[in-house]
Structure 1
Amino acid sequence: MEHNLPQINYDEIDFLVNLLEKYPRESLRKISELEGIEYFKLKRLYDKYYGEDKFVQVNAILNISKLGLKSFVAFLDIPRDELRSRALEILKNPFCNYLNASFGFRMGLYVLYHVPVGQEKYLDELLSKYTDSYEYYEVRAYPKRNTKFGKWNLSYDYAILIDILKNDARTSISKIAQILGKRRPTIDYMVERLEKLEIILGYIAIRDDYAYSRSLVGIADELDE
């Protein structure tokens, strides 16, 4: 049985990651000028590998303590046939930052929450909506240090902007301006303000390690296919 697998060049992926690590928010045109790379060659590479459900992404690194948030990791026992429906339900919660299947001492879902300081007491109530069997722990830096938590004193537009940059820091200023209904210079100012306040600490280019296995693993109906 033949499978149409994507043609993945690992050297190209690593090259793009290193390039975007150096220029996380610059335009492709600007990167091509600074690095002396042919623009259309870079764009083909970018279109092939960059974006959601592809192999490379750039995310904003947030200082969540400045926003008055604490991190908690939760492990939930979820029946296998209910994983998808429960996951979709959990993702509706705005404090859910990350979710994935977990196959360790808890068989079900691994969830990372960013919870406002003072609302930790509601975690049991929240998690018990999905399962009676769960555990959760606060995620802290090591070595442990006294952390000063800030308070949210920005407009709701900043919350939307942070969410956009957290998921894809290379979202164009034009697109963000359209989403927020603001002018491009205003968006530039808002991003710069988040950086100066050290709410955004920087940006990281991430390679999806599953890209390496997706080129090798197929799905078959029979074991001998």
Structure 2
Amino acid sequence: MALLILLKTDTVYCKLRYIVIVCCAALLFACSPRHISTKYYYENEKTLDKIEETFRQLSREQDFAIAFTSKNFKSVSLEIFTDSLKYIYDFEAYEPRLADTLTAYHLNANKVIKLMQMMQSIRSTWIRNLDYYVDGKKSNLVFMSMKPVALKAPFSYKKYYILAYFNQPQYFDSKGRLLDRMSRRRLRKINGEEFLRINDKVCYTVSGNFR
């Protein structure tokens, strides 16, 4: 009888240990940056893609970048890029001077402000263009970063999630890592960061800096 009780106890203990291991593994996967970033993208896909599309259209008129510089998203930094100089302006969000400055640089103030509102709605902190060349042809990608609180990610409060939107499909290895287009055996890093696939044209990284 004692042996039977001992065997039952061991069986129960093994089952409990298995359940704990499975639950911990599931929790770690759910909280992993890869799962969180991919999940966040697909939950907000329409808004994110609309932000990227709007920004591309506007930046054809004048190259610029937007960064929210306060935790409450009430302070904004506007960067204007010319052929030789970069101008940086700091504003309180939506103050009249912001619209005046956008208009002075031939940007559609109403559309830029709507872009900012979309960014605020998903707590996107920064958006910017980056030019690059493939086979001598100029192309560009759009960077967009999000604050961790928007992703509700435990243990990642010091990290930022950065999306990269390419205008053409990219190459990735079997682990989903972005590859160099010229040498597909070599990983491609952007600003020193490794990027992982979300889809053929969108990838992400987790960084300690928001830009």
Q: Same fold (TM over 0.5)?
A: no
Quick check: which one's strand share is greater? 2
TM-score interval, normalised by the smaller of the two chains: under 0.3
Report the TM-score, using the length of structure 1 for normalisation.
0.27
**Normalised by the size of structure 2, how large is the TM-score?**
0.28
